[in-house]
Amino acid sequence: MVEPHTRYKLISRLVLYIALATIIGLLVGQVTLSLLVASIVLLAWHYRQLIRLQIWLWQMKKLTPPQGQGSWEGVFNGVYRLQRKNRKRLNQLADLLARFRLAAEALPDAAVVLDSEYNILWCNKLAQRLLGFLWPQDSGQRIDNLLRHPDFSRYLVQAKYGVPLELPSPVHEGRILEFRIIAYGEHQLLLIARDISRIRQLEGMRREFVANVSHELKTPLTVLQGYLEMMESMQSDDPMVARPVELMQQQTQRMKLLVEQLLALSRIEDEDDIDWAHEIDMGLLMKGLEIEAEALSLGRYQLKFECDPQIAILGNEFQIISACSNLISNAIRYTPESGSITVKWQAVSDGAMFSVSDSGEGIAAQHLPRLTERFYRVDTARSRQTGGSGLGLAIVKHALSHHHSELVITSELGQGSTFSFTIPSILIVQKKRID
């Protein structure tokens, strides 16, 4: 903005110039001609200043402007001030960018900045090493053109960034990478990839160790149990012998169940390569589960099975049986006698649903998110008393995750619980009805 006193100076100079031209005109008796000449001189002078400004702006590399004259002095100085301000801002921005890049380079993970169309805008050095990107050659490329894996393309299409994606490394054989995408700013995405091979390797070692120990424990336990059964059959009248034998038998039975559950869990964890050609006859499976439930219930519960035998599924039979039977045995164990338990297998809009509802003790809301953790129990003493291993729901969770499904728990304290899961339509085989 031009300051008021400068504006005043400019106008007064113009008035003075016109007055001078008028006086000269009056003196020579040619006012119009004098004014015309004065206007042409003024115009020429302004053009000259304009040309100087243009030359400075477009052709000269100097930051300082040429000395402005008259009314143009303010213009030259104003442009100079603006340019200096811009240059300072640019320097600040470049400084900030350099610092951001240094910070991104210091990250222990591969970082790639993407636009909303998944085109690469920038990546750090670790991304070049871990993902095999070339910089700057790959700038502007769509990331799925470089990371060619069907799961990665599906991940981008589904855009469910809350869950990380695990993929084999495109560069180093045998390595596993975990990808995460974080949306930020206006339609920008940050892709973070980290090498999790070591974590997976340690997990594998842990699983193997647990499986080996459990396997090794099986034989001594069977021997112990055999001898205890023999001692019990001898029917000693001495209470000093009979009671300890009974307790030992109970404890070996518990240990046996724990070992079996540990073995089942490691087997299910390892079996993530499902044979999708295998059809599970759910009608038959449900019949088996019903017989097992009757045996566990011993007539103390009202058991109801409502199953559609026409809905078969594709998957791993051992895993599905383990999941269903754990849910049914839990319902029986956590429901007081004469309570009711209903098991359903029926078609729903997005597949087929298995559910077990009981009229048992129910579970308080704060426990629900942690129930599927290994050895998590609402009431440890109660679980032991009912013969629980603390691994049942962990087994269910793993078995279901291999079948693109997850456990849904609804429960109300004192009212009962419903444990259910839905097998998606792609794994459903509808058998023909024979009327």
Binding site for ligand ADP (CB under 6 A): 326, 330-331, 334, 358, 360-361, 363, 371, 376-379, 383, 388-394, 417
Task: Say if residues 310 and 430 touch (Cβ distance below 8 Å).
Answer: yes
182 vs 365, beta carbon nearer ligand ADP? 365
34 vs 417, beta carbon nearer ligand ADP? 417
Closest residue by Cα to residue 218 from 176, 158, 173, 264 = 264
316 vs 330, beta carbon nearer ligand ADP? 330
214 vs 417, beta carbon nearer ligand ADP? 417
Name the pairing type of β-strands 416-424 and 408-412.
antiparallel
Task: Say if residues 279 and 429 touch (Cβ distance below 8 Å).
Answer: yes
- Give the three-state DSSP class for 344: strand
- Give the three-state DSSP class for 236: coil
**Adjacent-strand bridge partners of 430:** 311
25 vs 388, beta carbon nearer ligand ADP? 388
Q: How far apart are CB 415 and ligand ADP at their closest, in Å?
A: 11
Q: How far apart are CB 294 and ligand ADP at their closest, in Å?
A: 18
Q: How far apart are CB 402 and ligand ADP at their closest, in Å?
A: 18
Q: How far apart are CB 262 and ligand ADP at their closest, in Å?
A: 12
Tokens of 281: 């006859």
78 vs 390, beta carbon nearer ligand ADP? 390
Q: How far apart are CB 357 and ligand ADP at their closest, in Å?
A: 9
Q: How far apart are CB 368 and ligand ADP at their closest, in Å?
A: 9
- Element (DSSP H or E) covering residue 409: strand 408-412
- Give the three-state DSSP class for 110: strand
> In the sheet where 188-195 sits, what is the strand order?
120-123, 110-115, 188-195, 176-184, 165-168
Number of Cβ atoms within 10 Å of the Cβ of 194: 18
